[in-house]
Amino acid sequence: MRPPLLLLLLLLFSLLPRADGRGQLRAFVVAHSHMDVGWVYTVQESMHAYAANVYTSVVEELMKGKQRKFIAVEQEFFRLWWDAVATDTHKQQVHQLLQEGRLEFVIGGQVMHDEAVTLIDDQILQLTEGHGFLYETFGIRPRFSWHVDPFGASATTPTLFALAGFNAHLISRIDYDLKADMQKNKKLQFVWQGSPSLSERQEIFTHVMDQYSYCTPSQIPFSNRSGFYWNGIAAFPDPPKDGVYPNMSLPVTDTNIHLYAQTMVANIKERAAWFRTSDVLWPWGCDKQFFNASVQYSNMDLLLDYINKHSDEFGVAVQYATVGDYFQAVYSKNLTWEIRDSQDFLPYSTESFQAWTGFYTSRSTLKGIARRASSLLYAGESFFTQYVRKHPASSICRCGALRQLQSLRWAVSEVQHHDGITGTESPKVKDMYMNNLMYGMFNVKKLMACIIFDMNSAKKNGEVYSSVYNKDSGIPGATDVDQYVVVYNPLAWNITTVVTVSVSHLAVSVYDELGHSVPAQVQSSAESHSTYDLYILVTISGLSYRKYNVKPLNGKQSAFIGRSVKYKRKGITRADQQSRQLLPVVNNCYQVLFDQSTNLMHSITERETNQTVQLTQEFLEYRVNGDVTKGPISDNYLFAPNASAVPVSKAVGLEVVSGNLMTEIRQYFYSNVTAQDYIYAVYTRMYTVPEGYDGKLLCHRIEQEYSVGPLELNREAVLRTSTNLNTRQLLYTDSNGYQIQKRPFKAYVNNTVARNYYPMVQTAYIEDNTTRLMLLAERAHGVSSQGNGQVEVMLHRRLWNNLQWDLNYNLTLNDSSVVRPVIWLILGTKAVTNILYRTSGLALEHRPVVMFGALSGDKPKLPGQLQQNSVHGSPVTVPPNLHLQTLSIPGWRYSSNHAEQVHSVRMGKQKQGDADFSRVLLRIRHLYEVGEDPVLSQPVMVNLKSLLKELGSVMLVEERSLTGTWDVNTLKRWKWKTAQYPSKGFSNSTETSENCIVTVHPREIRTFFVYFQGQ
């Protein structure tokens, strides 16, 4: 049968190469520069050597060719350039290029944040910080991600980017063997439902970069120099005077243009085979590129023109593009994509002996300070917001106060960079992060102290000292002055907890504002021989503060003095079972037994259910290799143990300090029975809550503080907790403090220990059919279950190796510090721990801020006056399954009406002058997953008017996207076709509030702008 003519014509037509089918390939050449906000060089060194030149020369060069494009990523560098380097002409050009779509901001955060060891709050902060600047300055809102360098990909990030209004997400670093498999099967693109509870509502199309990742492949067969890097590589500390940089690629000439084209086309075709559409993403750039954009574009222009002139012969068309151009092309193909569930891409290995699981613990001190700074910022924001709302005529300069907060916002955002909080930077860059964090913390502590003064209108010559969880800045030694301890609760729940203050003598009494005695306990300090630790039981409503008076006297109301009993140091060779003597330590929730023949913990009984779990804890060290000629090495990034962990101590000393409020068990671990100094210590605290106080959370936690270090070289220290729970070696860890990931133990041919390490940002647990043991942390750690019923936490690393690359960049992690991390243990049934661990994790993250001061002339108040002492009358409280995630005054001056904002930017009329103090940013997060708990997993109705009534009368509430730049009613994200949802279109995010009543569903994070009357 002969086919009809029409069909023949159609067949002929289909054989012609065309841009949109698989016939002709279309390569999207995306020019970019990967600019680390710290890593080997400080931000200042980078700005001087290359970063400022990137933006100056790129902007100038884009203006010279209408076809040229560029993507800008990290806002910290761009903002420094914009504020200090860019001329007025440059600024006008940036506005024009953005309007023409030739300059595109992707991600738009201050940094490209790490995904493994960061907390969701800090990821949101750094994104909001960058987005606010971009929207205020240009009226633009990024729509695409470019997460090309974080070491593994978390399932929290896709949810975050969906909530921020992104249409597509892009990642690169995932396990080498998994990437090879996905590449072979054309599965590098999928629709990711990162959150089990939000699933398709906040899903996002995700592109995994192929094996070439984000750098242009530099091998060219016709030259021994690299190709496509015509500007060479950046030189430090100064740009070369003659403009000649190391390793500049051969310029494109008539004689080599065909060879260049063949090389590029071959690479495009190789990559095209790994994807489902004929669109090929071809990143052009790498780390620290485009500092001389002129030589870059002038060469690439010639090459692209040449390929396009011969596109029939090559079967490829090429064009300059942004990430948005590429995703738009893929989206328009209207294919049906596979769905990926909430499983993440952690841990990450680059080959079998290169497991990037060391950085989960590297530079533990920096990880701890970064989180303390974040928590102080959280407290400072809500404290300042309430103050501004309640004291409009205050004496404190608001703009100056906002600048103090902004210094800490900037520092906390900066350290979230994927070579920041990860601990993978050089020592001088670590110092830069630390200095910026300490400076910001100092500013915010000072601000909070000024607010306390202003509200107590104390004499201005008084002093308020402030300490955040550390006992180093205790009450001064003066004995005749009444000292005040001001304690602020930054959480929107009522809390009952214990705060610690250093005092100079044992005989003290503590009174509240009404002159009533407050339960307290004082004892010798474990750390210092010259001071004492005073523990005060505090009960504080949500977002409120209390003032406690510490009187140096020995009256009948004085604080209970803890009694200390020291036990003989014992060898921990396994003791004879028969003669075992057990020492009990008991509170209302637990009985903990210590084995007196070894001085180690023996078991914990949960008293309500009377369930006992055998539980021992010991410190071990992985001894690792530092000589590259002898095998795999551990470094800042990698963990490469060459054998099982080795127990470190042969003997343990024990001291028990007991009192009416708390019992502290101090265990000191020595290398042998006669050793002088201990290398490790554990301080375990259990609290006894007096009648009449709500002590559920306080009683249910076993608080442990560890002292680890200085370590010997090439040692990695772990605390291993072994139980008799039949856990089948299944571990659970949190993903950025947002959701939980299941971590079954996997056997590998090589490197099984390291490849079964996972990041614990806030939570890890093991369980059997009935009982769960939870660990809550105040900084990130690597965590693993290397045996049934076991969980081990890596607490510290000290490494040195002779890999030339590490030595050149000073990335060897010779960290000789002593670290003092805190972990809370919770043991109980799954139902009980489910109720406790979300609130407990946040209570550990956001412990009260303690400030000290001599506020002279304050008499005890009468009950009626007590109200004045919280920042406002009645507290701000949310139900226990919700968390008030943000209450702040961002200060951005943009209009929340998009058309208005774009108009004012185009007319050059962006509001100048003072920050906007009338707009309050509010975020509320649901803490539970669908179906996790019969009661707490229910949706919650919140009346925002009554929630915030003490801040004033709510006039208007606008629901916004996660970073505040979209009105949710106008936010339309691309809906990608999946088998689950066969039609393509737009997805609308959420039902909006009617008259300020919102229903918050499991796992939602809802963001609002709130305006009050009289503003």
3-state secondary structure at position 537: strand
Closest CA to 818 of 936, 704, 706: 706
CA distances from residue 807 to 626, 804, 882 in whole angstroms, order as listed: 12, 5, 48
Element (H, E) at 960: strand 954-960
Residue 259 is classified by DSSP as H
Tell me which residue has tokens 């992707």. 106
CA 501 – CA 552 distance, rounded (Å): 14
In this structure, how many other beta carbons lie within 10 angstroms of the beta carbon of residue 979? 10
One-letter amino acid for residue 397 of the chain: C
For 13, the token pair is 């037509």
Radius of gyration of the chain (CA): 30
Residue 606 pairs in a beta bridge with 590, 611
Catalytic residue among 36, 149, 344, 635: 149
Closest CA to 559 of 523, 532, 520, 524: 520
Tell me which residue has tokens 């004496």. 395
Tell me which residue has tokens 């260049």. 260
Q: What is the dihedral sign for C-alpha 879, 885, 889, 895?
A: negative
Tell me which residue has tokens 């005077």. 241
- DSSP alpha helix (H) spans, 869-920: 898-906
Residue 416 is classified by DSSP as T
- Parallel, antiparallel or unpaired: strands 354-355 and 520-524: unpaired
- Parallel, antiparallel or unpaired: strands 1005-1012 and 920-926: antiparallel
Q: What is the dihedral sign for C-alpha 168, 174, 177, 178?
A: negative
- Parallel, antiparallel or unpaired: strands 790-798 and 781-784: antiparallel
Residue 779 is classified by DSSP as S
Q: Has 149 been annotated as catalytic?
A: yes
Strands (E), 785-931: 790-798, 822-829, 849-853, 882-888, 920-926
Q: How far apart are the first and last CA of the chain?
A: 82
Dmax (CA) of the chain: 112
CA 565 – CA 832 distance, rounded (Å): 33
Cβ neighbors of 68 (< 8 A, separation 6 or more) are 31, 61, 62, 102, 297, 301, 320
Catalytically annotated residues: 149
